[in-house]
Structure 1
Amino acid sequence: MPKQTVSKNRSREARVSKREAEVKELEALEAAVAAFDIKSNVEHFTDLPLSQQTQKGLKASHFTTLTDIQKRAVPHALVGKDILGAARTGSGKTLAFIIPVLEILYRKKWTQYDGLGALIISPTRELAIQIFEVLRQVGRAHSFSAGLVIGGKDLQSERDRLDRMNILVCTPGRMLQHMDQTAGFEVGSLQVLVLDEADRILDMGFQSTVDAIVDNLPPQRQTLLFSATQTKKISDLARLSLQNPEYVAVHDKSDSATPKSLVQHYIVTPLPDKLDTLYGFMKTHLKTKALVFLSSCKQVRHAFETFCKLHPGVPIMHLHGKQKQTARAEVTARFAAAKCAYLIATDVVARGLDFPAVDWVVQVDAPEDADTYIHRVGRTARYNREGRALLMLCPSEEKGMVATLEAKKVPIEKITIKASKKQTIKDQLQALCFKDVEIKYLAQKAFVSYMRSVYLQRDKETFKIEELPVEDYASSLGLPGAPKIKFGNAARAKALKNAPAKLVETDEESDAEDKKKDEKKVKTKYDRMFERRNQDVLADHRSKLVEHTMDADSDDDFVTLKRTDHALDEETPVVEELVPKKAADPLLKPDSKKKAAEALSKKAMLKYRGNGEKLIFDDEGNAHKLYELEDEESFKQKGDVTEQQKKFVEEERKRVEEADVEDKAQAKEKKREKRRRQLDREREADDDSDNEVGVELAPYSDNDQPLEEEEEETHQPQPKGGEKRKKKWFEDESEDEEERSAKKSKKKVIEVGDLDTLQDYEALAQQLLA
């Protein structure tokens, strides 16, 4: 038997034996899951009925012992039950749902041709990236395909690979976008739905998005919900179509909702002194890795820019939701790898993120509720490590916030700061605002965004905006005075935003009257100085130059800013005849002289003109289109259709024959001219040769045939008379002389007649010697 046949048989037998082994292993795994006691106390992953691939991934990732939430949740999830899991931050909830996802798809023999099998939804991009990395580590031995679908990345590249994914880790907004816009994306065969930080996903921020996603999913599926503060509302559970869920709460009966290794304190500090307190904390904790939480993106940007200019002596980073995805990922990686650094951030990093070795969590602004506080302080004291938390409260916030935290079983103690440790930076901030207009702009936006965040808080017993020292807070940011802000409902703000220009002018007139009344009062030198320093939110020149890129989160116009209108002056000429109908729309009215001039330019007017048409002119000078259709009546008057067809074909044939004759004559004339130039060059070369005897060339006649195409291509032009040919790099003078003499000998012709006598032979010899 040939060797090739033997090798094929062996490989076939190996594949068959391997397939049989996999089937037996899968049957044994199913039997182990069916016989597993859910109530048994499991300490190690090797005691669970898991596949060999998952065991390899856990061992390679150094996961050996189960945490409390994993002991309670993983066995129920392996047998196919819906889970409601609640545990403290840092207790291993991510692994509690990744292991069941891998095992369920493995036992069902899921492949890339079966479509999407598991969907894991996370509220933030950073948390989704972290979940995806854990999934890659634990599932490295499996053959599943997994994808990360988050905002800020290329949408088209995600679409190309989406239909081949078995497991998707995503954020709600981007997943709904793919469900609506990506053709061929099917979720009808989904087996497992996982919601990490479920309480955040199911609240008002993501309610409509999650409802739209769940409507597209099949009802027969397994659902796993995990969070540090789990929801039990019947409405939320009904929205997700949960079927007899198993509620797994690990720390419900414990004395504290936070880890015991976490030391928590709060201080009461006035609002104007918060930045001073934070700066003093940084100067006294230089070798510390800390997270600093503020309420809004504008405050984060302002604190980062000002502290970088003040140089506290420790690396400072910032992270908020308005940054690009690449910048957010870079900052997250840098802070995770740093040993000593301060990360100033919003609540975008408050949930689920695992930053190693965080020593302090400093909350400059109070959280909106106790759940947010628990998630914030959960960034430290993770996996039985020690950590510290500091909360800064205004005097008006102390009573309500402390009562809220006590109701959630959060042990927190009040401390005071030593007077020797306090530092003030109000003078430095004021100097920065006077020197740098960008810092002043950030300070104004930070002031407005903080007031807006306090005004929008639902807990009015804790957050009392009327008791805040507004002027002192503006002064602590370096501003000469508090920017003018107006509070109102969203409907009124939207109505004012879309109001006609006349109504806005009446408001401006009323403000001008108020200013005139104030001018009548006696003013000091300092009052005049502050008036010269721009009491409005932005100066006129600044509002024209700065691109307001930080206004993306101002959809709910509860706090409206009074901006300067840049309408055209009455003297600005507007030529209505030249403006097209689209450009004459009042909604597209230019707001500056430059834009008005650009709107009337030739370049701007080109988009309102149609495409040009090519015209031809007849003998009488009338213009016609390049292709015109003849009327049916005029066509019939010319005669029968077949006769017209024959006539047209005959005319075209004659025209082609005449054109063919002309083309042949031109080609023949070109060949003759080429032959004539060739003979002229040869004649010039013969005339320039010295003392040569040769046959005279006859003049060129029409009967001579031109050279063949091959000879024409290989012919090399001869040098003209009087010109000396340049020597090549490999030639010398001796070779040149030999070649010249050889050419002369070739071209010299001696006529020999009848040689009868001795005199004839002598004459021939003399000619040869010569």
Structure 2
Amino acid sequence: MAKPKGKKAVKSSSRKESRQKQQQELDKLQERINNYDPKVDESSISQFSDLPITQNTLQGLKEANFVSLTDIQRKTIPIALKGEDVMGTARTGSGKTLAFLVPTIESLIRNKITEFDGLAALIVSPTRELAVQIFEVLTKIGKYNQFSAGLVTGGKDVKYEKERVSRMNILVGTPGRISQHLNEAVGMETSNLQVLVLDEADRCLDMGFKKQIDNILGHLPPTRQTLLFSATQSDNVKDLARLSLTNPQRIGVSSDQEISATPESLEQYYVKVPLDEKLDVLWSFIKSHLKSKILVFFSSSKQVQYTYETFRTLQPGISLLKLYGRHKQTSRLETTMKFSQAQYACLFATDIVARGLDFPAIDWVVQVDCPEDAATYVHRVGRSARFGRQGKSLMMLLPSEEEGMLKRLKIHKIDPKFMNIKQKSKKSIRPQLQSLCFKDPTIKNLGQRAFISYFRSVHIQKDKDIFKIDELPAEKFAASLGLPGAPKIKIKGGADNKEKKNASRKLLALAKADDDGETKDESSKVRTKYDRMFERKNQTILSDHYLKMTDAKGDDDSDDDFMKVTRKDHELNEDELPDLTLPNSKRQAKKALSKKASIASKGNPSKLVFDDEGVPHAIYELEEEEDFIKAGDAKTQKEDFVAREREVMKETDEVDKEVARQKRQEKKRKRKEIERRAREEELGSGDEEPVVATLGGIDLERDMEQPSSDEEPVSKKPKWFEEENKKTKKDEFVEYEQPETLEDLESLTAKLLGN
């Protein structure tokens, strides 16, 4: 009689069957991927369900309301699923994020990556906001997969990230913070990396992130899949060679076109505005579009701050926000979320917002300052008219910028329409700005900084056919900002100013006193090298000592002069001095001034090298003419010599690189060992190991509230503008925090009036 199977045996068999079923599904999907032909099968794919991807990914896409494929997704995802390197270029707002997230997740599934396999996918983004946006989409579509994922950006606590980053399968972050973790994080291995993604690739590969990207690439294995995506693409051979791409597939743009077209549903306009009327035009535009969502671009953060503070004081009737690079991480994320959720608002920002960010339903993109090139224009206007929605853009051009900028845009088939400004609807706010600058020194200081930063931003632009700093009306622009006059701009400081800045005031006063008290017989004074040394500028340590030494005025009886070193001028006998008179004859003068002539009697020195037999030779020894002719043509000998030296240098370079790599790895290994021991001691003392976050399980709001290392912990007391969940009784008191800004005071007043 057969014994019934136990519970363990039944569970083991069911697991085995589920594994076999999953493997069969993966084999079928892999077969569909291998048989895919872009020329034949591309037209038959219109939805995500038509793609050869797993059910878990499909379910996540469906719940996130991603059903139909965009053009770039239909062309890119099947090829990326094959494991090939891809360079994807498409209109901004066409869905490039899903074009690389779906192949990344599927690659990890097919390679059977688990939470114990370490880092398998790395997604690099140039800005924090774009990294957060990518991570949010990743958590939505990957919620049914068991991969661990992490978001690392600057401005957050490094120690908090270090404890968890080594156990992440998918890592999304900015170049600087990813590079830091690769150098310092314990247990963060990259030998199992499958996919590297560069979103906004042209920005990641430029000189601003060159050092960080090169460091990241130095830690990654060469056998990986690389995906590059951007609205504009770099064709620089050196940039692509750094990534070690193998036969990359270019999708979405031809090889002779660098910049893709703007969205088809975008209406593009431009106006010709003098520099001193820009703020008046912007104010009038905002006042006439109060029921709109507006994004305004400036060239510098100082202009953003000045415009925000002045317009907020004047109250145009719409919510105003500001966003630029030097904000704290929490403030930037809070501003991004507020603008995304607002129905009507106006955001003043720099080009940090120009790339990749998806703000819902932006009606107008206004460029107060001219973009530096056509690529920047494409990225700016691409914040509107995303995913087929309607949108409009307006660019303000100076008379000196109009011809050159329009010519650059026409090269890339971009032709904005000219728009006239109605003088009736235009209102000047110059008197109000002058009044604000007169009453508030802070506003005046912001105006001066905005003035200087604008001129500097024009000065550093490369295209001098567009940006002509000599034609800018400085006085009129300063008056338009409410300033009494144009601030002085010193873009390049002179040598005299630098010397005056570094000079010691006591030494200058001393030198002046010495000049006033000079005797007529100046030729009798003897100046030594110590005099010259103590009179040098910026000698802050020696100057006080010198003043003490020379401050004695004969008051030997004073208590302050006790044990004080005083300087004495010694008399020198003329007989003891060497003869420093000029030579009488020209031959003697020539011999004295010529180093070669002066050592001719002693012999011309030359360096010698000794061979193995001990025979001395000159460093540069010329061979005989007959031997040189026998060796062949001079040009051929030169080429052979250069080729040999090049090979030697190449071999030496490889050896040096290997030695540097080994030193870096050894340093990293020692640091990891020290941190690992410290962590083991903490775990041994009874502390529990932190739980690994899985895809979809990371609380983004908690990460946003996580204080950085240089910030104080956030108070748990609710702020005055936060809604309370519990209703308070009539007799109870409600406690609010002290409002710090004008905006806080306005909101507090509105809330109290509402109660």
TM-score normalised by the chain length of structure 1: 0.64
Q: How much has 1:159 moved relative to structure 2?
A: 0.4
> Residues 19 and 256 (structure 1 numbering): CA distance in 2 closer, same or farther, change over 3 Å?
closer
Equivalent position amino acid for 2:242 in 1: R
Q: Does 1:207 align with 2:210?
A: yes
Whether the 8 Å CA contact 1:251–1:257 is kept in 2: the answer is no
More relative contact order in 1 or in 2 (CA 8 Å, sep 6+)?
2
Q: How much has 1:250 moved relative to structure 2?
A: 4.9
Q: Does 1:442 align with 2:442?
A: no
Which whole-Å deviations, capped at 9, do the CAs of 1:313-371 have from their partners, x for residues lacking one? 11100101111010110110010011100000001110000011100000000111110
Equivalent position amino acid for 1:273 in 2: E
Q: Which position in structure 1 is the counterpart of 2:407?
A: 403
Which whole-Å deviations, capped at 9, do the CAs of 1:437-488 have from their partners, x for residues lacking one? 1101111111111111110111111000010001111111111111111122
Whether the 8 Å CA contact 2:166–2:186 is kept in 1: the answer is no
Q: Does 1:315 align with 2:319?
A: yes
Q: Which position in structure 1 is the counterpart of 2:89?
A: 86
Which whole-Å deviations, capped at 9, do the CAs of 1:519-557 have from their partners, x for residues lacking one? xxxxxxxxxxxxxxxxxxxxxxxxxxxxxxxxxxxxxxx
Q: Which position in structure 1 is the counterpart of 2:474?
A: 470
Q: How much has 1:8 moved relative to structure 2?
A: 3.1
Whether the 8 Å CA contact 1:85–1:225 is kept in 2: the answer is yes
Q: Which position in structure 2 is the counterpart of 1:695?
A: none
Q: Decide which moves more: 175-184 or 411-420.
A: 175-184
Whether the 8 Å CA contact 1:36–1:49 is kept in 2: the answer is no
Whether the 8 Å CA contact 1:122–1:172 is kept in 2: the answer is yes
> Residues 408 and 503 (structure 1 numbering): CA distance in 2 closer, same or farther, change over 3 Å?
farther
Equivalent position amino acid for 1:87 in 2: A
Q: Which position in structure 1 is the counterpart of 2:57?
A: 54
> Which one of the candidate residues 53, 63, 68 is aligned to 1:65?
68
TM-score normalised by the chain length of structure 2: 0.65
Q: Number of residues paired by the alignment?
A: 515
Q: Which position in structure 1 is the counterpart of 2:285?
A: 281
Q: Which position in structure 2 is the counterpart of 1:366?
A: 370
Whether the 8 Å CA contact 2:133–2:357 is kept in 1: the answer is yes
Q: Which position in structure 2 is the counterpart of 1:428?
A: 432
> Which one of the candidate residues 104, 109, 114 is aligned to 1:106?
109
Q: How much has 1:204 moved relative to structure 2?
A: 1.6
**Structure 2 Cα separation of the partners of residues 440 and 12 of structure 1:** 76
> Residues 451 and 148 (structure 1 numbering): CA distance in 2 closer, same or farther, change over 3 Å?
same
Q: How much has 1:503 moved relative to structure 2?
A: 10
**Structure 2 Cα separation of the partners of residues 333 and 155 of structure 1:** 23
> Which one of the candidate residues 168, 171, 178 is aligned to 1:168?
171
Q: Please give the secondary structure, in 1, of the residue aligned with 2:361.
A: coil
Q: How much has 1:176 moved relative to structure 2?
A: 1.0
Can you give the 5+ residue segments of structure 1 that lack an aligned partner in the other structure?
510-564, 577-770
> Residues 505 and 164 (structure 1 numbering): CA distance in 2 closer, same or farther, change over 3 Å?
same
Whether the 8 Å CA contact 2:381–2:393 is kept in 1: the answer is yes
Q: How much has 1:188 moved relative to structure 2?
A: 2.1
Identity %: 53
> Which one of the candidate residues 194, 199, 209 is aligned to 2:197?
194
Larger-gyration structure (1/2):
1
Q: Decide which moves more: 198-207 or 218-227.
A: 198-207
Which whole-Å deviations, capped at 9, do the CAs of 1:107-131 have from their partners, x for residues lacking one? 0000111110010000100000000
Q: Which position in structure 2 is the counterpart of 1:219?
A: 222
Matches within 5 A, 1:569-648: none
Q: How much has 1:10 moved relative to structure 2?
A: 2.6
Equivalent position amino acid for 2:397 in 1: L
Q: Which position in structure 1 is the counterpart of 2:566?
A: none
**Structure 2 Cα separation of the partners of residues 457 and 504 of structure 1:** 42
**Structure 1 Cα separation of the partners of residues 71 and 13 of structure 2:** 46
Q: Does 1:328 align with 2:321?
A: no
**Structure 1 Cα separation of the partners of residues 82 and 38 of structure 2:** 9
Can you give the 5+ residue segments of structure 2 that lack an aligned partner in the other structure?
512-537, 550-755
Whether the 8 Å CA contact 1:68–1:250 is kept in 2: the answer is no
Whether the 8 Å CA contact 2:268–2:393 is kept in 1: the answer is yes
Matches within 5 A, 1:124-135: 124-135=127-138
Equivalent position amino acid for 1:162 in 2: V
**Structure 1 Cα separation of the partners of residues 179 and 248 of structure 2:** 25
Whether the 8 Å CA contact 2:90–2:260 is kept in 1: the answer is no
> Residues 148 and 429 (structure 1 numbering): CA distance in 2 closer, same or farther, change over 3 Å?
same
> Residues 250 and 44 (structure 1 numbering): CA distance in 2 closer, same or farther, change over 3 Å?
farther
> Residues 504 and 59 (structure 1 numbering): CA distance in 2 closer, same or farther, change over 3 Å?
farther
Which whole-Å deviations, capped at 9, do the CAs of 1:249-297 have from their partners, x for residues lacking one? 2588999711121111111111111001000001111101010000111
**Structure 2 Cα separation of the partners of residues 498 and 351 of structure 1:** 44
Equivalent position amino acid for 1:27 in 2: D
Whether the 8 Å CA contact 2:89–2:260 is kept in 1: the answer is no
Q: Which position in structure 1 is the counterpart of 2:33?
A: 33
Q: Which position in structure 2 is the counterpart of 1:245?
A: 248
Q: Which position in structure 2 is the counterpart of 1:592?
A: none
Which whole-Å deviations, capped at 9, do the CAs of 1:161-201 have from their partners, x for residues lacking one? 11110000110011111122223322222111000001111
Matches within 5 A, 1:741-752: none
Equivalent position amino acid for 1:392 in 2: M
> Residues 181 and 290 (structure 1 numbering): CA distance in 2 closer, same or farther, change over 3 Å?
same
> Residues 575 and 174 (structure 1 numbering): CA distance in 2 closer, same or farther, change over 3 Å?
farther
